Amino acid sequence: MSQYAPRYIGQANTLEHRVFQDDASTGQAISPWHDIPLFADQNAGILNMVVEVPRWTNAKMEISKEEPFNPIKQDIKKGKLRFVRNCFPHHGYIWNYGAFPQTWEDPTVSHAETKAKGDNDPLDVCEIGEAVGYAGQVKQVKVLGIMALLDEGETDWKVIVVDVTDPLASKLNDIEDVERHLPGLIRATNEWFRIYKIPDGKPENVFAFSGEAKNK
């Protein structure tokens, strides 16, 4: 049984919807950003990941940095709920998408590798295991590699991980292993991040490292 329990408030796809995180043993509200440790097992290299957006869904859910206890809520732009459009042949997000707790991309610091400053958000995570997650789920994952998206001029790291309970987890240790066992997934990930804002009238996103996924 997980030591964390998501608590759902309001109807999904509404302005009021929130996913709070509770300590399962006490029932007390905690912050998924500040109170969950980054490492589940540091010696084994296993990290905690908070799922914000389950695979194949479109609602742009993210941890609120401003609200008490930092619940997950749907992003809003100009008073309207934000959804990621389907970009053929993809449907919604193509992995379980979320964040690493206890992390933050500093908007005042320019990264040497990207020559761009951080995006002022927790570090983004793409979990590529076969199980579809749920909003507020805390997964134990291992890092396989990373991509560096330059999103509207800001550095936006995308960490590629796999759930340690996934059937392929023992065979996946770096990006080459992903290419071997899940051919096409890294290419699809690059394409998804490059084009997902185009239906909203924005230009293609660009990458550092020529879009290459780097090993951990």
pLDDT per residue over 3-13, tens digit each? 999 999 999 99
Return the pLDDT at 103: 98
pLDDT at 24 over 80: yes
pLDDT at 152: 80
Mean pLDDT of 189-215: 90
Residues 66-72: what's their mean pLDDT? 98
Task: Say what the pLDDT of residue 211 is.
Answer: 82
Sorted by sequence, the CB contacts under 8 Å of residue 156 that are 6+ apart come out as: 105, 119, 121, 124, 148, 149, 150
Cα separation, 105 vs 110, in Å, equals: 10
Average pLDDT over residues 192-205: 91
**Terminal C-alpha separation, the chain:** 29
Q: How confident is the model at residue 2 (pLDDT cuts 50, 70, 90)?
A: confident
pLDDT at 102: 98
**pLDDT grade for 153, boundaries at 50, 70 and 90:** confident
Average pLDDT, the chain: 95
Mean pLDDT of all residues in 102-127: 93
> Are 59 and 12 contacting, i.e. CB atoms less than 8 angstroms apart?
yes
For residue 1, name the pLDDT band (cuts at 50, 70, 90). Answer: low
Please report the pLDDT score of residue 212 as a whole number: 84
The residue among 159 and 208 whose pLDDT is bigger is: 159
Residue-level pLDDT at 130: 97
Read off the pLDDT of each residue in 127-146 and give the average, rounded to a whole number.
Answer: 98
Give the percent of the chain with pLDDT over 90.
85
Over residues 145-154, mean pLDDT: 90
Question: What pTM does this model have?
Answer: 0.95
Give the mean pLDDT of 116-123.
94
Widest pairwise Cα distance in the chain: 47
d(CA 202, CA 197): 6
Task: Determine the pLDDT at residue 67.
Answer: 98
Residue 209 vs residues 67, 143, 148: alpha-carbon distances, Å: 35, 19, 7
pLDDT top residue among 141 and 150: 141
